[in-house]
Amino acid sequence: MRPVNPASRGSLLEVEDLSVVFRQRGRADVRAVDGVSFSVSPGETVGLVGESGCGKSVTSLAIMGLLPKRGVRVEGGVSFDGTDLLSLPPDKLRLLRGRDLAIVFQDPMTSLNPVVPIGTQVTEVLTRHRGLSNGEAREEAADLLRRVGIPDPSRRLREYPHQLSGGMRQRALIAAALACRPRLLIADEPTTALDVTIQAQILELLKTLVAESGTALILITHDLGVVAGTCDTVHVMYGGRIVERAPRHELFAEPRHPYTGGLLASVPRLDQPRGVRLQPIEGSPRDVIPWARGCAFAPRCPNRVEECTPVAPELLGDRHGLRCVNPLRSDQPATKAVPR
Amino acid sequence: MNTPTGPAVPGSPGGPPDGSAAPGEPLLSVRGLKVHFPIRKGVLLQRVTGYVRAVDGVDLDVGRGMTYGLVGESGCGKSTLGKAVLRLVEPTAGTVRFNGVDVAGQSREGMRRLRRHMQMVFQDPLASLDPRQSVESVLSEPLRAHGFAGDRSRRVRELLDLVGLPAGAAARYPHEFSGGQRQRVGIARAIALNPELIIADEPVSALDVSIQAQIVNLLEDLQDQLGLTYVVVAHDLAVVRHVSDVIGVMYLGALVEEASSDELYAQPLHPYTIALMSAIPIPDPEVEERRRRILLTGDLPSPVDVPPGCRFHTRCPFRQPTRCADESPDLREMRPGRKVACHWAEEIAAGAIRAAASAHDPTATEVGTPSS
């Protein structure tokens, strides 16, 4: 039995039991995403957090219908404002993408076309989806660039991606994503390739956007610090499944899953006294067991007990969802202060 | 970790000429170091049309057994500085003294001998390890090259044990390891010859967050066991603060502030440090909501065309109408142990000058024109 998602009232996007299986010739299938459910409401920011290989990016590609058709099986349901995106024919989906759904990727250099001026890449969306004339689209594009904090936008529109700095490129990409005032924006590690001072600018921009236009935002990141300052609800993923889900304050104040607690204890905090030894999670994300044989995190888990295998725990709990048979107790702090 | 006494220079063959290093003198001493890369134009004549001033006059001292953290954003010259210390890039000007020996004055052979005492750990272990070399071969190569007298395969097993890898790892190849394990191999290679100084260039930034802590702890343990001196170059101020005794903050090729790790966090003095610290997210929503974020305006200027006056004045939220644009501030000792390169550091510290840019106005982020 799957627990009912509490935030599904008035939600814009509902992901139900989503699985993505990559088939490989001569080898066992890889279940990159394994029964993921969550929802996003207008004006809400939802964080998908996890390390490389946890399935967070594949989830976003599956929602956008951007996975290749060959060799990939997508199961479950993705419903956007009542429309099932997974069964939508490609031409209908293309109408939604760019207009109602938009995505920003990590590396702005690979997602912008290097031989096409920035302006064309932004106006393309406007002429295609909003039927603006070229002149109108140029004016609108200049306005968009100004909104995301690019100075001298009419000159920038004529420039090529390589003429812009990394932060500028990411802002241009966000401008293109915002061109049609999308109702859902997916930002996949939008600031990972950028310096912290530029990251602060981009995150501020995204926050303003959500607050002003009521855009629903899915923020995908490995950085718990980014999550702490931006997301309303946080889903922590491990091995393709959500292992813990909670409102932001609750998750950080009282992490219950040993993986969440482990992540928090393993990053040095700027505001923590020095001399506190970091508590790493043992092993590496490679050391997973298939969920069919128990909890994927069990091989690395400090709280491992016999019940962790062979039956994987369910995600239980409405407000604070947890997939663990032996969670952290509240008297077992996530950040143990062990003097060096 | 703060033990100021390391082991003496081993008197083994190939040791540096045990020079003028007086007791209490820093192990590493850098003065006026500059690295300028020429920009050439033209096919035949290759005229030099300008210079990338990657490192533009840096002074720093690193005491024995200490960790010096060098932070700054991409393009600030921190990695070039690290390489220039080892003479992996040739400095344009300035001196580097290691253990009392002038590094720049060494011959090729002298440099080769000196390098066994100063080693490097790189950011991307997959790129810095030869994919066709087994771990055994990777680790015994420096031993062979420097004429290690003992049993090489025993030393390899010893090294693997020191960095927390099983002895069976020796027969395996880099691609068979996870990122964290590969970085352990990179560290084992660096400590193979019992060096005194290790320059670690972004040692954890290519690793998953849960793995970073393992490597940070390993570096700390090795320092305790072997009395190593570190220069850690990284962009992540939280990691640098965790491992370093002293931190130098770099901006556009120069140090703008230097302080002990605790003091730097307690009260950053340079406007760039203040902005950098306020931009670093802290994984705690309560803290995040209380913090005031100082947003910097625009991007890093090009190191080809360093702004006149204070190099930070084009983005500085504390910029004043006088001095900043036309007078270059020296890195001066404001109080004992606190060096800062800002004309107005006292006034900013006292709260008499406040940051200008608004944190919630995206239109305030314009290049070169800080809203005042």
- In order, the DSSP letters of B130-174 are -TTS-HHHHHHHHHHHTT--S-HHHHHHHHHHHTT--GGGGGS-G
Omega before residue A310 within 30° of 0, cis:
yes
Residue of A nearest to B236 (CA): A196
Question: Between these two residues, B229 and B6, which has the higher pLDDT value?
Answer: B229
Under 8 Å CB pairs connecting chains A and B tally to: 160
- In order, the DSSP letters of A192-212 are TTS-HHHHHHHHHHHHHHHHH
Query: Mean pLDDT over residues B364-372, rounded?
Result: 35
User: Is B63 within 8 Å of B27 (Cβ atoms)?
Assistant: yes
- Res B28 pLDDT > 90: yes
Residues 6+ apart with CB under 8 A from A280: A262, A266, B210, B211, B212, B213, B214, B217
Q: What is the pLDDT of residue B123?
A: 85
Q: What is the pLDDT of residue A271?
A: 84
Rg (CA), chain A: 21
Contact yes or no for A340 and B220 at CB 8 A: yes
Q: Which helix (H) or strand (E) holds A135?
A: helix A134-147
Chain A, 134 to 163: residues with Cβ < 8 Å from chain B are 146-149, 151
Question: Between these two residues, A272 and B225, which has the higher pLDDT value?
Answer: B225
pLDDT 10s per residue in chain A (340 long)?
Answer: 444 444 445 899 999 999 999 998 888 888 999 999 999 999 999 999 998 889 999 999 999 999 998 999 999 999 999 999 999 999 999 889 888 999 998 877 788 899 999 999 989 889 988 889 999 999 999 988 887 878 888 888 999 998 888 888 888 888 888 888 899 999 999 888 788 888 888 898 899 889 988 999 999 999 999 999 999 999 999 999 999 999 999 999 999 999 999 999 998 888 887 778 898 998 887 788 899 999 999 999 999 999 998 999 999 998 899 999 999 987 665 444 343 3
Query: Mean pLDDT over residues B109-120, rounded?
Result: 92
Band of residue B22 on the pLDDT scale cut at 50, 70, 90 = low
CB-based contact (8 Å) between A281 and chain B? yes
CB-based contact (8 Å) between A28 and chain B? no
Query: Mean pLDDT over residues B180-202, rounded?
Result: 95
Contact yes or no for B235 and A195 at CB 8 A: yes
Rounded to 5 degrees, what are φ and ψ at A291? -60, -25
B278: amino acid identity, one letter: S
B341: amino acid identity, one letter: A
Residue of B nearest to A207 (CA): B360
Query: What does pLDDT average to over chain B?
Result: 87
Q: What is the DSSP letter of A296?
A: T
Q: What is the pLDDT of residue B6?
A: 38
Nearest to B192 by CA among B117, B112, B132: B117
| Spatial separation of the C-alpha atoms in residues A79 and A67, rounded to whole Å | 17
- Res B60 pLDDT > 90: yes
Provide ipTM, 2 decimals.
Answer: 0.82
User: Is B112 within 8 Å of B41 (Cβ atoms)?
Assistant: no
| Spatial separation of the C-alpha atoms in residues A112 and A172, rounded to whole Å | 9
Angle at A48 between CA A47 and CA A54, to 5 degrees: 165
Q: What is the pLDDT of residue B171?
A: 95
- Output the six-digit token pair for A195: 């310096």
Other CB atoms closer than 10 Å to residue B168's CB: what's the count?
10
Lowest mean pLDDT among A107-111, B186-190, B250-254, B301-305: A107-111
Q: What is the pLDDT of residue B365?
A: 37
- Output the six-digit token pair for B82: 């690290």
Partners of A47 on chain B (C-beta within 8 Å) are none
Residues 6+ apart with CB under 8 A from B126: B174, B175, B179, B182
Contact yes or no for B241 and A267 at CB 8 A: no
Strands (E), chain B: 28-41, 47-62, 67-71, 93-98, 101-102, 118-121, 197-201, 229-234, 246-251, 254-260, 332-335, 338-340
Band of residue B5 on the pLDDT scale cut at 50, 70, 90 = very low
Contact yes or no for B283 and A269 at CB 8 A: yes
CB-based contact (8 Å) between A247 and chain B? no
Query: Mean pLDDT over residues B79-85, rounded?
Result: 93
By the 10 Å C-beta count (0-12 exposed, 13-18 middle, 19+ buried), B318 is classed as buried
Contact yes or no for B284 and A269 at CB 8 A: yes
- Output the six-digit token pair for B280: 């670093």
B188: amino acid identity, one letter: A
Nearest to B299 by CA among B74, B90, B100: B74
Length of chain A: 340
- Output the six-digit token pair for A254: 């009282």
Q: What is the pLDDT of residue B358?
A: 45
Contact yes or no for A278 and B213 at CB 8 A: yes
Residue of A nearest to B237 (CA): A270
Query: Mean pLDDT over residues B9-22, rounded?
Result: 45
- Which of B215, B282, B290, B293 to mutate to test binding with chain A, by most A CBs within 10 Å of its CB? B282
Question: Between these two residues, B272 and A337, which has the higher pLDDT value?
Answer: B272
Contact yes or no for A266 and B213 at CB 8 A: yes
What percent of chain B stands above pLDDT 70? 89
Q: What is the pLDDT of residue A180?
A: 85
User: Is B345 within 8 Å of A191 (Cβ atoms)?
Assistant: no
Question: Between these two residues, A152 and B318, which has the higher pLDDT value?
Answer: B318
Q: How far is CA A316 from the centre of its chain?
A: 22
| Spatial separation of the C-alpha atoms in residues A239 and A221, rounded to whole Å | 15
pLDDT tens digits along B128-179: 899 999 999 999 999 999 988 889 999 999 999 999 999 999 999 999 998 8
- Alpha carbon of B36: minimum distance to chain A alpha carbons (Å): 22
